[in-house]
Amino acid sequence: MYDYLIVGAGLYGAVFARQAKERGKTVLVIDKRPHIAGNVYTEEVEGIQVHQYGAHIFHTNNRQVWEYVNRFAEFNRFTNSPVANYHGELYSLPFNMYTFNKMWGVVTPQEAAEKIEEQKKAAGITEPENLEEQAISLVGTDIYEKLVKGYTEKQWGRPCTELPAFIIKRLPVRFTFDNNYFNALYQGIPVGGYTGMVQRMLDGIEVRLGVDYLEQKEELEWLARKVVYTGPIDAYFGYRLGYLEYRSVRFETEVLDTPNFQGNAAVNYTDRETPWTRIIEHKWFEFGRAADGSELPKTVISREYSSEWKPGGEPYYPVNDEKNGKLYAEYEKLAAQEDKVIFGGRLGEYKYYDMDAVIASALARVEEELSVK
Ligand SMILES: Cc1cc2nc3c(=O)[nH]c(=O)nc-3n(C[C@H](O)[C@H](O)[C@H](O)COP(=O)(O)OP(=O)(O)OC[C@H]3O[C@@H](n4cnc5c(N)ncnc54)[C@H](O)[C@@H]3O)c2cc1C
């Protein structure tokens, strides 16, 4: 009999398992996938750490979380500076002085601010009724047309005029020459990949892979006093109240016989005509070098396509709208009646969590759990 059976070897499960183990508890971790690390899983291909479930850049303002992850990995100094490609015109992201200079030839912050104001005024939108009007009222027509419109329409699979205004509350605009996408105090990528980091979290902990909890629930639940479940909450209850919806992403990954395909980790394709939203070139997360510092002759790229999620497909981004919020609240009531089970993580709580937030949430939950025992 274990103290905890942890369903899911992603970040939530691994952090919970590590902390429980350090407090003398016995733990068994299972995952239905053939690997640990959940969606932050990275795999080495041609000497390159490939982010199999989408690019993951660790960034946080939470010092406790930063110190915690640094116990399990050394982080490099990677800074996320994506480039936008609009029909072959390249712009810096997030919107900053380099973007404005390229777009309008303006040189000073004042000129850039005036240009945006002028375009906002010319559009004359006072009460935005859809996402298009909202975006134009925030950044003017040029930035909207070239950098927001096509990308957003591909992400949501609908024209911006049919999307609600509230999706975009603000669009960050910087009047400095700063291409750092995140406003975070700490940022980087674990040297050698995320899988190694999670492996070290799970050091000394029993892990069984390729085991689906819901298929063997009867036998498995008796193995432990308590279960920590990080799978989809609606699946746990057999979808008895209906399906929670997600947006999904499809990745097409290729090895190319060239050392440098696009010169940057992320290039966003912001026009509507290019079918993919982004291309990730994985080697640039580690500055194009192998673990021993040597140059890598090949490269690995992933094209990302935003797609509709269908039941049975890989769930990525929870759709936090009113309909799904209400349904989740009903599932939460069912979950509250399961006194042997803790529901956690992005699928268990149906919540978009960045990595730092999911780690903070697991640390808080395990602390709460162990302090009452
Ligand atoms: C495309 C994409 C890009 C992202 N990029 C970033 C980024 O750049 N920076 C950032 O901070 N965050 C990013 N995130 C968020 C990050 O992926 C999450 O914060 C993190 O993975 C959540 O961890 P988790 O343990 O909750 O979930 P998961 O990693 O999904 O782990 C859950 C695990 O449970 C297992 N499981 C589910 N059901 C069962 C079952 N029935 N039986 C057994 N096992 C089961 C699954 O196989 C999975 O391994 C991104 C997310 C996505 C979708």
Q: Each residue of 235-277: pLDDT tens digit?
A: 999 999 999 999 899 999 999 999 999 999 999 999 999 999 9
Provide mean pLDDT across the span 194-205. 98
The pLDDT, as a whole number, for residue 373 is 52
Instruction: Kindly give the distance from the C-alpha atom of residue 203 to the centroid of ligand 1, in angstroms, as a whole number.
Output: 20
Residues 134-144 have a mean pLDDT of 93
Instruction: Reduce the secondary structure of 332-357 to three states and give it as a string.
Output: HHHHHCCCCEEECHHHHCCCCCCHHH
Which two three-digit tokens encode residue 358? 């999911």
Phi first, then psi: what are they for 48, rounded to 5°? Answer: -115, 135
Give residue 293's Cα distance to chain centre.
Answer: 28
Helix (H, G, I), strand (E, B) or coil at 4: strand
Estimate the crossing angle of helix 11-22 against helix 194-201, to 10 degrees.
30
CA distance 231 to 8: 7
Q: In the chain, pLDDT over 70 holds for what percent of residues?
A: 100
CA distance 61 to 371: 26
Positive or negative torsion for Cα 239, 249, 81, 99: negative
CB atoms within 10 A of CB 348: 22
Map residue 115 onto helix, strand or coil: helix
Q: Which of 30, 39, 213, 229 to mutate to test the pocket of ligand 1 (most atoms within 8 A of CB)?
A: 39
Instruction: Report pTM.
Output: 0.95
With CA atoms as reference, report the closest residue to 179 among 91, 112, 261: 91
pLDDT band at 46 (very low <50, low <70, confident <90, very high): very high
Quote the pLDDT of residue 293: 87
Ordered by where they begin, the domains of the chain are 2-80+186-243+321-371 (3.40.50.720), 83-170 (no CATH)
Mean pLDDT on 1-5: 97
Reported as a single tens digit per residue, the pLDDT across 89-117 is 999 999 999 999 999 999 999 999 999 99
Q: Is the pLDDT at 166 greater than 90, yes or no?
A: no
pLDDT tens-digit series, residues 262-320: 999 999 999 999 999 999 999 999 999 988 889 999 999 999 999 888 888 888 989 87
* Tokens at 203, concatenated: 């050091």
| Banded pLDDT at 145 (limits 50, 70, 90) | very high
The closest-lying atom of ligand 1 relative to the alpha carbon of residue 249 is 1
Distances (CA, A) of 373 to 23, 120, 274: 11, 58, 55
Average pLDDT over residues 183-189: 96
Helix (H) or strand (E) holding 207: strand 206-209
Mean pLDDT of the chain: 95
Quote the ligand 1 centre to 89 CA distance (angstroms): 34
Give the residue numbers marked as catalytic: 170, 174, 247, 278, 304, 352, 354
Q: Assess contact for 190 and 75: CB atoms under 8 A.
A: yes
| % pLDDT > 90, the chain | 87
Q: Give me the pLDDT at residue 172, please.
A: 85
